[in-house]
Structure 1
Amino acid sequence: MAYWYDVEKKEVVESDRGMFHGKLMGPYDTPEQARNALETAAQRTAQWDKDNEKWDNG
């Protein structure tokens, strides 16, 4: 089973099939991971920004 986070409805969606409609993030292995999708994305973006800065500044 896969879990998705619906950004518009702010809820976790469970589905066996790929979900490609609406504003969904995922898939995730657990409902907890899906619930934390926005926080996870923000953390990853912050890390990528730091990595890019290091790359750009050598």
Structure 2
Amino acid sequence: MPYWFNVETGQVETDETRSQDATVMGPYDSHEAAASALQHARENTERWDREDKEWDEGSSWDPESQED
């Protein structure tokens, strides 16, 4: 059974109790995975932000040196 995390209520929902798509994250395979959806999303965002910063700092690409 798929589980969903409702970002407005902070509750885990099932297909039978699921709210509108705009207010839920998922589906997740377990109640536990749905319950930790926001934490997991936060961790991913922080990791991607670090990776973007590392990419930007290590990039030697100069847009002005490119030919038209």
TM-score interval for Structure 1 and Structure 2 normalised by the shorter chain? 0.7 to 0.9
What letter corresponds to residue 34 of structure 1 in structure 2?
A
Structure (1 or 2) with the greater strand fraction: 1
Identity level (%): 39
Give the aligned length.
Answer: 56
Contact 1:26 1:34 in 2 (8 A): yes
What's the CA shift string for 1:1-46, capped at 9, x where partnerless?
1110001111001128xx7534101111100000001100100000
Bigger radius of gyration among the two = 2
The structure 1 segments of at least 4 consecutive aligned residues displaced by more than 4 Å after TM superposition are none
Relative contact order, higher structure (CA 8 A, sep 6+) = 1
In structure 2, stretches of 5+ residues that fail to align are 59-68
The TM-score, its normalising length taken from structure 1, stands at: 0.85
CA distance in structure 2 between the aligned counterparts of 1:40 and 1:54, rounded to whole angstroms? 21
